[in-house]
Chain A
Amino acid sequence: MVQVSRHDIVIVGGGGAGLRAAIAAAEANPDLSIALVSKVYPMRSHTVSAEGGAAAIARDDDNEELHGFDTVKGSDFLGDQDVIEYFVENAPRELALLENWGCPWSRNEDGSVSTRAFGGMSTKRTWYATDKVGFHMLHALFQHSLRFDNIVRYDEFFVTKLLVEDGRCQGVAALEIRTGEFHAILGRSVILATGGAGKIFPFTTNGTIKTGDGMALAYQAGVALKDMEFVQYHPTGLPGTGILITEAARGEGGYLRNNKDERFLVDYDYGVGDKAELGPRDMVSRAIIQEFEAGRGFEGRYGKYCVVDLRHLGEKHIDAKLPFVRELAKIYIGVDPVHEYIPIRPVVHYMMGGVDTDINAATELPGLFAAGEVACASLNGANRLGSNSLTECLVFGAVAGRNAIEFAQGAGEGNSSALVSQAEEEAARVEALRGNGRGNEKIAGLRHEMNSTMEAGCGVYRMQESMQIAATETRSIRKRAADLHLKDSSRVFNTEIVSALELQNMVELAEVLAVSAAHRKESRGAHTCRDYPTRDDQSFLYHTLAHRTDDGPRLGRKEVKLGHWEPQERKY
């Protein structure tokens, strides 16, 4: 009933991190077989939508100390400094590799790679390919990966469970969407690279596939999730759709304006002069909300908004550096930024938290590695700096790939029959869902409830009370999600069952997020409590860990790895 296949390592996720891991593994040992499992064709992964750029030192006025400190400070001192140092050191090599593999980075006249300014970065260190960076990176990685015969792809396979036996992770159970059949894809080590979970929220830059599956898989396998309360709001999303207007719009010199036509960020003082707009994302998002609250926002069909003003850059500059922004604004909001303001409001963008990993991309479960947005290596701490995460996918994707190969080489085959019988149980569970007309909850209805609970409880500004409410409500939503009503009983390409599984993953994470947030009684980075408006290093300079129990997450803590950068007040 369950189809069994065996590889040496299994990678879940074909985005930036998953592909980089696959290539690193394929290069490390061409004789080993690598399974690359993804619920969409790899080039559809949401890395494709990243616009602005990827950070790594490139210029002579830059150095590791500067990039490192920018990142530590951006993280509000919650980043692990060993990880940050490793990241900063390896970033330039990773981006150069991508260049060697064909990524069309934008260039200076002398033929070197060009860099642009980004929020919270003290110099121009963001590599870019106009404003479609993720797209070009993902396609370059995917196309490069095609040359390796030992990467075996499982496209449109939805992983529903990690197979754990003898205390180590040895494969995954996956639903083949095309046939409805179940597979046990076994390997001696497993890498999670499934990306973020923005879809827990109603208004997000994330695509529909970003449902946090990998975090839920690890969580259900007993692995801790770390720092889940930290959710990045990007200051500039299009009202209605949530489509991102990249930070590069400000990096290239765009202004934010309120309904008084003021460049209000000048008064908030996150940067000087021309760089007023280039504060870190958490701060700029808060500034916009404060403008709204002071009555200086515009009123629109989808609520309040401010605007991005690019007009002074001129058509030529916009077309050369921000053509995608222009295209998106024209198509999705009917505005041509050459002549008009682009309406924006803060929008859920990125999960700083995720599966707890260390500097080796390893989790607490032997044989399980994680990289990319799904993981929390604590590079980003309480607030990620724009353009660090694409690079993170590469740096830690490569680390995960190499370490997973090494682990696999030292590990035995394991007990296949035990693994297969686990997969069979899982198949039965999923099969019971298919077309299950006895359930009482509508998928779309429950999703809306979860979305609005999260928006109310865990927004840009949070209150103890609203977070507590969210924690209770998400718990009940999680329980209700066990009782879904499905209509489609067909076998072939049944997307309803996929949505159901995704929803069940999201509700788990929503609860962890709300509970972790309610527990952190301070304001740090993206987590801003009105009741506790300051950072409290005395009581909260630690990572929140969440382990799964049936009654909800059990919280724990993990020390922050400090180094030569001492925590100080975060001012720009």
Chain B
Amino acid sequence: MAESKKMLRVEISRFDPDRDEVPKTQEYEIPVQDDWKVLDAINYIKDEVDPSISHRWSCRMAVCGSCGMMLNGEPKLTCKTPLSDYDETIKIEPLANFPIVRDLVVDMDGFMDKFRKVKPWIVRAKARAEDMEDLNEKGTFSQSPDQLATFKQFSMCINCLLCYAACPVIANEPEFIGPAAIALGHRYNLDSRDEGQAERNSIFRGEGTVFSCSFANECSEVCPKNVDPAAAVNQAKLAAVVDWAKGLVLPREGA
């Protein structure tokens, strides 16, 4: 640590619902190391300067999805973003478009609710026992590498919520289910093992789903895992429309 003693001004948004009406900003001046990520600076402050800061983090390797925050107004994973991207000051705020619980912590429950709405699991028409005939002798479904590639990209989402913090529609339309959740539903729709397309497509045509997206593409710009949720949402849009048109021509059973 001795070799580099660069000082950095860190402005952190603070909010304690028991004491503050609205979030306020607190400044810290700390020595930083050139190979630190932004998360290291926050942890340094928490350990050495002000233990009352609250933030979420765990894996520090960009895979658990807990550490998303606004850095100078841009949604970023703090454990992935090098401090060297910032010169003298850095402003750290909780993710935009979410209610703020405390300091850098946002309320995720709204997201968890939306996440479940798209039925993010394999839907099969038959009961499990009868399904066995589709399985091979090892008990697995057969799926070619090409079939896997169809949805693989959309299964890489770590639920970091950066896309929600970036999407202009989320900011204005509370019902919008949003990029990551729709991408997840679309991922299951594309999975060769799944038979829930009709169900999900009718969910997708409901309020606050695919048609709310105005293809701002912001979600894909900020996604740290290259999920390209904008692609997923808009493919889902197209698929839901095609499915609707098919329904006009050949009326669906049961629907």
Chain B CB within 8 A of A322 CB:
no
Q: How far is the CA of A49 from the CA of B58 in the complex (A)?
A: 10
In the complex, chain B residues whose CB is within 8 Å of the CB of A241: 60-61
Chain B CB within 8 A of A443 CB:
yes
Do A444 and B48 form a contact, CB below 8 Å, given A99-B141, A143-B120, A492-B16? yes
**Total contacting residues, chain B, CB less than 8 A:** 63
Do A109 and B144 form a contact, CB below 8 Å, given A43-B159, A331-B80? yes
A332–B122 contact, CB under 8 A? no
Chain B CB within 8 A of A449 CB:
no
A113–B101 contact, CB under 8 A? no
Per DSSP, chain B at the interface is loop
Q: How far is the CA of A165 from the CA of B161 in the complex (A)?
A: 42
Chain B CB within 8 A of A542 CB:
no
A201 to chain B, nearest CB (A): 15
In the complex, chain A residues whose CB is within 8 Å of the CB of B51: 443-444, 486-488, 496, 499
In the complex, chain B residues whose CB is within 8 Å of the CB of A324: 63
Interface centre among B19, B47, B51, B159, by most chain A C-beta atoms within 10 angstroms, is B51
- For the A-B complex, the count of residue pairs with Cβ-Cβ distances under 8 Å equals 162
Chain A CB within 8 A of B220 CB:
no
Within 8 A of B (CB), among A464-513: 486-488, 490-496, 499
In the complex, chain B residues whose CB is within 8 Å of the CB of A301: 3
A107–B139 contact, CB under 8 A? no
Q: How far is the CA of A147 from the CA of B121 in the complex (A)?
A: 7
Within 8 A of B (CB), among A84-143: 92-93, 96-97, 99-102, 104-113, 132, 135-136, 139, 143
Within 8 A of A (CB), among B51-75: 51-66
B217 to chain A, nearest CB (A): 22
B140 nearest CB neighbor, chain A only: A99
In the complex, chain A residues whose CB is within 8 Å of the CB of B194: 102
B52 to chain A, nearest CB (A): 4
Provide the A223-246 mask, 1 if CB < 8 A to any CB of B, else 0: 000000000000000001101100
A492–B64 contact, CB under 8 A? no
In the complex, chain B residues whose CB is within 8 Å of the CB of A414: none
A residues adjacent to B (C-beta < 8 A): 40-41, 43-46, 48-49, 58, 92-93, 96-97, 99-102, 104-113, 132, 135-136, 139, 143-144, 146-147, 155, 178, 207-209, 240-241, 243-244, 301, 324, 327-328, 331-332, 443-444, 486-488, 490-496, 499
Q: Which 3 A-B pairs have the closest CB atoms?
A: A111-B142, A96-B139, A488-B52
B residues adjacent to A (C-beta < 8 A): 3, 16-19, 35, 46-48, 50-66, 80, 101-103, 105, 108, 112, 115-116, 119-122, 131, 135-136, 138-145, 147-148, 151-152, 155-156, 158-159, 184, 188, 191, 193-194
